[in-house]
Structure 1
Amino acid sequence: MEDLKERKLEEVGNGQLLPILNESEASSTVEELRGLLDPLAKPQLIYLLAQAGSQYPSIAVEIKSVASADSVLQKLFVRAIQEHGEIEEGVIIYDKATGKSRGYGFVTYRDMESAQRSLKAPSKLIDGRMAVCNLASEGLSSTSPKETMHWWSVT
């Protein structure tokens, strides 16, 4: 007769039950973990990180440092480009694999005059790094000021 191990089950945020693995079953390489995490939805990832952060202080410290660093850089970026006019929308592009900024983003100014002002001063030093503004367009027939976007790359 085969020796069967009895496993405890833990309820996950969505009500699904998962087995609690022992230490040898749980050890994985970074690549294995990335493969497991990649298909998960954002709420599942948030749940897992919150659980890990509440159980392991070192993970909580890492989560806080990453969250605050992105927030600080975004505030510096917005403050620097907001001098040209009111921003309707801004998006920073992130690498899916690493979660780090890819060094560029898109900004939509509320009016065309603001967009033109940003093009007249296309380079700006932000936190010791040079940001460059270029005109971007959503489509070939983009004529509305709200459809005119500018992308900023940071080097």
Structure 2
Amino acid sequence: MTSKLCKLFVGGLNVETTDEGLRKYFEQYGTLSDCVVVMNQQLGRSRCFGFITYSTPEEADAAMAAKPHVVEGNNVEVKRAIAREDANNPDILANVKKIFVGGVKDHIVEENLTEYFSQFGAVEKAEIISDKQTGRKRGFGFVFFEDTDSATKAVLTKYHTINGNKVEVKKALTKQEMSTSGRGGRGRGRGMQSYGGGRGGGGGNENKKLVIQRKNDDNKRTKSDSY
């Protein structure tokens, strides 16, 4: 779980920014164990996004807390890096502060949820849902964080163990949010903040845009370069 909390996605980079330039900027928040600007291997140029990995989750948190960031003249977007298999998963991509906690046993109380999930960020409150008529616990609850990043950190790991009780977590979405995000169907996340499967590549549509762009002005940045 710890390693997932150390890796960040950086989008909207200057096309001229290199691994070294990216590292130089983000090292002010901690020690980087890895830093890469993703390249289009066919065209030999930056795809204008990259990934940085800190040695500890606390260092990654410091970088997240210091937003906004300007790297070599560009306002960049910094997010938690998402594993490739989760790139279109609305339970992770949704921008919400509330998470669902399932599989909660009777011996777990709301204070246990608050104490456990506080490791991911400030918790406003925790609720364990009970049957209104019988008062019996229904086996699930919710945790409300003060910010969306804390909720994302919590759901990067699907299963957690609280006082010997294995629980499952996911973003808590309204019906409207579920419809918009595509839960239950194909997700609509852009996927660029995902990682895995190599550092290069580039789809056909992107390559066509970049080829046309280079013909017009090899040094001019357009939307096809940015995240």
> Please, what TM-score do these two structures have when normalized by structure 1?
0.42
Higher RCO by CA contacts (8 Å cutoff, separation 6 or greater): 2
Q: As a proportion of its length, which structure holds more helix? A: 1
> Please, what TM-score do these two structures have when normalized by structure 2?
0.30
